[in-house]
Structure 1
């Protein structure tokens, strides 16, 4: 059922944006075919179904690592609260699953956190809503949400539109029935689907001058279609991720193809008549060992000493590993991560200054994500307050983030200085770690006159 829904959902997205959505909305929309194609590409990559993941190439899930790292660091030490006790309880409950959903939002470019009544919220990623129009701040002020209910051979779709009109929030609902995965079908009454019978066709809320949900968008320039639609955090590294996945598969093949085998002449094999498909068929066998260890060959003309010949090629894995690590570092640079977030730190031959610059780069990217997230959560609180009749009641929302990316580095360095002073850490190891020197260089440098550790 799940695969069937996913297949149909892809068909609906293509059909809505290319053929029908303008007719349903009655006007132009901000979601372009180019952006939809990109969202589908990012979604496939996150699902391990990138276009290059076929035959022997499998995904290394680098995209997951990127999104998880940015989400973890961004909200790890977040302190957010509302001054009103009731609103704060509802808000804290709403963000319990923020981390895992923010990962999806970072991967697909944008995320909406939408209240469902008074005490529940729904996380909606870019592949499940259609922005119709954006305001001057780059936030959607007209947006369409789709709810899909497959039943038997039919599909039911509810199109829920939220928009700001003349300074008021208007919410409308329309329902459709379809027999095909590529057609919207015909419009029906909301009451034809029991679960939707209570939804109003249209209702306006006077005085609600902002959307009733929080909208998060990655701080990444949209060079796909120039619209305010969000762009995946790893979009700039798609080709590098492709190369890394292929390189990873090469490494796997190097290990698989290098497995030890023994080429065995047929004269050294035993034949078991009892395992044949008929009385005239005989199958060779060897003493029980790994099934892949022996390979039968016809070595006629060779002497008995060559009945067994070992095949054990030399592995070249280090070259493949070095290449993969290089791709990891290039990906880290492209998306704004620090060296060592994806790559193995021991392969990163960088000076202390370069490492610090990389951490600063990550800090700047995370800070930008946090600013966008703060705006999203502030709007979410307004939406929760609205549905609980407290929109104009007066409350304060506070959200603070700690800059542990930089402070942790300085704390770690200070601790290492103390370890060197106590003799718990050799000076050459300190130099290798913080000055980016090799072990040989560091040991050679500490033989010189004593220096002041900075």
Structure 2
């Protein structure tokens, strides 16, 4: 109910929430796939000759797996953010006490699952740096004004009680950003009352820099091209996920049902035991919820009261069919085919091959990095403003992890060869491989002219 309560409250304040109800329904479906169980698909019944038995399809959880993999590729422990030396310690201190490394990776995963996420910064006396970073998932984001597909004004919400909500509204007013903090109570009858905010929270503040950054997969939301919110990275791969789970469930059932199958004449289903002398009671001889047994309606035409059958397990056929389904899914979410390998009953990520720079995965990774890089740069400016009161306008360097994509050993050997034949300078080599600026590399070069940096 949080989305409808917050939406109604914002509209009563005069805001026009830009996210459609249809998009919220899509987000709920993506959330179910991310959870790994979609009731409308994974729950089904099978008739065993006596009754319908409820069953649940096995799930590979590929929605979550794909989001985890994109998060690990985009924002892992090897990503480095660099600013001027005077502010580097301030930045690293703030990121460390806000558990940025773990929380930002989780936010990328959730953003790729629900379509949208956000960093939000605000002043806080509870941190040594004075800056707190919130990591907001798409369920708590309410766009209020859009320009050229970008969210300009936005509200973030969280539930803090049975009917109470905290709302943080960001609006661009001229060259500044107005941020308002509100706590409201959604009372019965559709009424709302505004509560007093804590003493350590300012009701309204102004900032020369935006104190929020939106992140989402860099892909057009084709479910609604006018929707400002993003879409799940697997939103167009629902059929492929269903195909994966259908075949995985069949693979599992192949071993469950392939052991033996017993066809029973109805006359052997019930037995009549004698108890307490003359008293008699009837009970089923077999568990009616067990799909291994099937009551055959042949009656007296059956030559055998119980007929046992055995099947040859179709392991190779299932494995190949499941691998084909995984290839289709992998390609649909941007990894290209052969990213996932089904082996020994498990799904593995294929790390045997180095991804070339012209591969689909490489191009899609670079595309996603465009949005993330801008968000990280704006986040750094917000952190430095909140923690230190400065408007930082110098360069911010965001170095993403390329080690998974490129053959670093081969590239480094080539650079060493170029340095040996004079086509690459030692300071250029050191700056590249030690992650230093050119000036720092020149200062840190060894005294020996022929030493390898």
C-alpha separation in 2, matches of 1:262 and 1:52: 28
Q: Does 1:28 align with 2:36?
A: no
Query: Cα distance 1:88–1:394, how it changes in 2: closer, same or farther (>3 A)?
Result: farther
Instruction: Tell whether the 8 Å contact from 1:134 to 1:141 is kept in structure 2 after alignment.
Output: yes
Q: How many angstroms does 1:270 deviate by? A: 11
| Runs of 5+ consecutive residues of structure 1 not aligned to the other structure | 1-7, 347-353, 415-454
Instruction: Tell whether the 8 Å contact from 1:132 to 1:142 is kept in structure 2 after alignment.
Output: yes
| Runs of 5+ consecutive residues of structure 2 not aligned to the other structure | 45-55, 125-129, 345-352, 414-453
- Residue of structure 2 equivalent to 1:221: 220
Q: How many angstroms does 1:75 deviate by? A: 2.6
Q: Give TM-score, length-normalised by structure 2.
A: 0.69
C-alpha separation in 2, matches of 1:273 and 1:411: 82
**Following superposition of structure 1 onto structure 2, how do residues 318-357 of structure 1 map, counting pairs within 5 Å?**
318-344=316-342
Deviations 1:110-143, CA, capped at 9 Å, x for gaps: 211112422432110111110112345x542211
Instruction: Tell whether the 8 Å contact from 1:71 to 1:103 is kept in structure 2 after alignment.
Output: yes
**Following superposition of structure 1 onto structure 2, how do residues 416-427 of structure 1 map, counting pairs within 5 Å?**
none
C-alpha separation in 1, matches of 2:366 and 2:277: 69
Q: Give the match's secondary structure for 1:219.
A: coil
- Residue of structure 2 equivalent to 1:312: 310
Of 188, 191, 194, the match for 1:186: 191
C-alpha separation in 1, matches of 2:249 and 2:150: 41
Q: Give the match's secondary structure for 2:336.
A: coil
Of 110, 114, 117, the match for 1:111: 117
C-alpha separation in 1, matches of 2:292 and 2:357: 47
Q: How many angstroms does 1:61 deviate by? A: 0.7
Q: How many angstroms does 1:219 deviate by? A: 0.6
Instruction: Tell whether the 8 Å contact from 1:106 to 1:232 is kept in structure 2 after alignment.
Output: yes
Query: Cα distance 1:22–1:312, how it changes in 2: closer, same or farther (>3 A)?
Result: same
Q: How many angstroms does 1:36 deviate by? A: 1.9
Q: How many angstroms does 1:247 deviate by? A: 2.7
C-alpha separation in 1, matches of 2:392 and 2:405: 39
Instruction: Tell whether the 8 Å contact from 2:244 to 2:326 is kept in structure 1 after alignment.
Output: yes
Q: Give the match's secondary structure for 1:68.
A: helix
Deviations 1:268-295, CA, capped at 9 Å, x for gaps: x999868x99953488999xxxx99999
Q: Give the match's secondary structure for 1:174.
A: strand
Query: Cα distance 1:272–1:391, how it changes in 2: closer, same or farther (>3 A)?
Result: farther
Of 94, 97, 100, the match for 1:90: 94
Query: Cα distance 1:215–1:307, how it changes in 2: closer, same or farther (>3 A)?
Result: closer
Q: How many residues align?
A: 374
Q: How many angstroms does 1:364 deviate by? A: 0.9
Deviations 1:2-36, CA, capped at 9 Å, x for gaps: xxxxxx33xxx24555xx25633424332122322
Judging by fraction of residues, say which structure has more helix: 1
Instruction: Tell whether the 8 Å contact from 1:214 to 1:383 is kept in structure 2 after alignment.
Output: no
Query: Cα distance 1:393–1:284, how it changes in 2: closer, same or farther (>3 A)?
Result: closer
Q: Give the match's secondary structure for 1:404.
A: coil
Query: Cα distance 1:323–1:128, how it changes in 2: closer, same or farther (>3 A)?
Result: same
C-alpha separation in 2, matches of 1:221 and 1:251: 35
Q: Give the match's secondary structure for 1:189.
A: strand
C-alpha separation in 2, matches of 1:107 and 1:209: 32
C-alpha separation in 2, matches of 1:220 and 1:301: 62
Deviations 1:394-450, CA, capped at 9 Å, x for gaps: 6653211243344239969x9xxxxxxxxxxxxxxxxxxxxxxxxxxxxxxxxxxxx
C-alpha separation in 2, matches of 1:277 and 1:308: 30
C-alpha separation in 1, matches of 2:159 and 2:278: 57
- Residue of structure 1 equivalent to 2:242: 242
Instruction: Tell whether the 8 Å contact from 2:355 to 2:406 is kept in structure 1 after alignment.
Output: no
Deviations 1:341-362, CA, capped at 9 Å, x for gaps: 224389xxxxxxx996797100
Q: How many angstroms does 1:308 deviate by? A: 7.5
Instruction: Tell whether the 8 Å contact from 1:272 to 1:284 is kept in structure 2 after alignment.
Output: no
Q: Does 1:140 align with 2:151?
A: yes
RMSD: 4.0
- Residue of structure 2 equivalent to 1:79: 80
- Residue of structure 1 equivalent to 2:173: 165
- Residue of structure 2 equivalent to 1:392: 391
Q: How many angstroms does 1:264 deviate by? A: 8.9
Query: Cα distance 1:216–1:282, how it changes in 2: closer, same or farther (>3 A)?
Result: closer
Instruction: Tell whether the 8 Å contact from 1:175 to 1:187 is kept in structure 2 after alignment.
Output: no
C-alpha separation in 1, matches of 2:358 and 2:323: 18
